Amino acid sequence: MDPTERQNVDLLLGVFSGVIAASSAEYPQIALKELEVRYATKRQKDYKLADGEGLYLLVRPNGSKLWRMKYRFDSKEKLLSFGRYPDLSLAEARLRRAEARVALGQGRDPGASNKSPAGKTFEQAARAWHENCEGNLDESHARRLMTRLERDAFPVLGDRPLRSITSADVLAMVRTVEARGALDVSRRIKQHVSQIYRFAIPQGWADQDPAAYLSDLLKPKPRVRHMARVGLQELPALVRAIDNYDGEENPRRRAVTRAALLFTLLTWARTNETRRARWDEFEGLDGSEPLWRVPAARMKMEREHIVPLPRQVASLLEDVRTFSTGIYVFGGDKLGQPISQNTMIYGCYRMGYRGRQTVHGFRGLASTWANEAECYRADWIEMALAHADRDDVRSAYNSALYLSPRRRMLQDWADHVLGFLKQVSDTNHLDDLELAHTALTFAC
């Protein structure tokens, strides 16, 4: 290239550089706003919201939001993990970014400052393990897991280097949890310690798992105490007591309590599943195959549960709709709130069943009836009760599994239960429905 051509190329490059510089000055990178971070919703894949200077928010498919900072040191691209939003706010994440940039300006690797000279601490390893596995966990389960560690493990083991922790140290921590009677939590926290060490050992952070041989030293779990329930021979009297329930003076409260008890008995639901049932969870109430779709967030096993509704339950819900207000089927005294945790159990007390029958015990009655009938498969019964699938081979849970046979089973149960009631039109519950509806109309 002759001197003239070189001069023209240099001039052209200078013009382009000026345009790029001017564009960068005129259109600087837009920083995140707090509302953007707060309302960032989960998607099917990870995605990032950039704040500038390497800082960004990583939004995971399970809904968790994690602060990250990408930077270069010693000609290598590296990554810093600052923590989870909202535990770490946008302002705090920016402060961490500023500290990291100060370290870079002084020629230090900001990532190296997170490492103890004696090696990884237990808390550092635990948080790295949790971050690695949380993408496969339900958000609420991941949060509970970290809460256990922060409450029970970190105060005792958190700042200790992994290699310095002994079996005696872990056992002492577990004994503290056992001392407050949380035997299930003590076993889980011991299991978490083992999982953290199994994550750390292949990475060279530790050499052995100090919790590996502690299982035989843990206090045994107490025998399961089943909720009180009457025998099947007393079911007719219980059903009639519910139908004739008159334990509250307010006709609307009386009608709500009666309907909630009967609904729970017929659907095999747990107390909280009933009391927080919302109208938008029900499908096809006026059709031939009505459903109740209970969201995972309200289920004990943290997964959606579909209840095929007997026709009598669909009819019951239509009656309840005449005096129900707000989003909850069984509304409490305060507008927009469900009935209280104790509404139904106090109803049992008023009917004379204190110590003899609990609301949760309705499920035991239904299970006993179904098992003794010998015409329903055990897995239909377990699915109807929303119990865990004990077969690890079939660990993939399908909420619609056995829907047709479960519908037939629940319909048989409803026919059996309501067969104990006299088919008359002037029962107390119809009078209460009318009084409740009248009271609601007058209030409006």
Return the residue matching tokens 């550089």.
Answer: 17
Integer Cα distance of 141 and 147 in angstroms: 10
Return the residue matching tokens 């995971």.
Answer: 60
Cβ proximity of 418 and 410 under 8 Å: no
Amino acid found at 94: R
**Given the residues 160, 198, 387, 408, the one annotated as active site:** 387
**Given the residues 120, 254, 270, 407, the one annotated as active site:** 270
Residue 71, Cβ neighbours under 10 Å: how many? Answer: 20
**Given the residues 346, 397, 408, 416, the one annotated as active site:** 397
CA dihedral 363, 368, 370, 372 (to 10 degrees): 180
Integer Cα distance of 258 and 245 in angstroms: 6
Question: Which phi and psi angles does 234 have, rounded to 5°?
Answer: -95, 0
Of 107, 60, 100, nearest to 79 by C-alpha is 100
Cis preceding-peptide flag for 86 (omega within 30 of 0): yes
Question: Which phi and psi angles does 283 have, rounded to 5°?
Answer: -130, 140
Integer Cα distance of 299 and 272 in angstroms: 9
Helix axes 251-267, 235-243, angle to 10 degrees: 150
Largest CA distance in the chain: 109
Of 160, 351, 389, 154, nearest to 262 by C-alpha is 351
**Given the residues 198, 360, 408, 416, the one annotated as active site:** 360
Catalytic site residue 387?
yes
Catalytic site residue 437?
no
Catalytic site residue 363?
yes
Catalytic site residue 65?
no
Catalytic site residue 300?
yes
Question: Which phi and psi angles does 67 have, rounded to 5°?
Answer: -85, 130
**Given the residues 6, 300, 377, 394, the one annotated as active site:** 300
**Given the residues 363, 407, 429, 437, the one annotated as active site:** 363
Return the residue matching tokens 């329903």.
Answer: 376
Of 340, 351, 354, nearest to 272 by C-alpha is 340
Tokens standing for residue 208: 């052995």
Q: Give the distance from CA 277 to its chain's centroid.
A: 16
Integer Cα distance of 20 and 4 in angstroms: 25
Catalytic site residue 416?
no
Cβ proximity of 141 and 302 under 8 Å: yes
Catalytic residue annotation? 270, 300, 360, 363, 387, 397
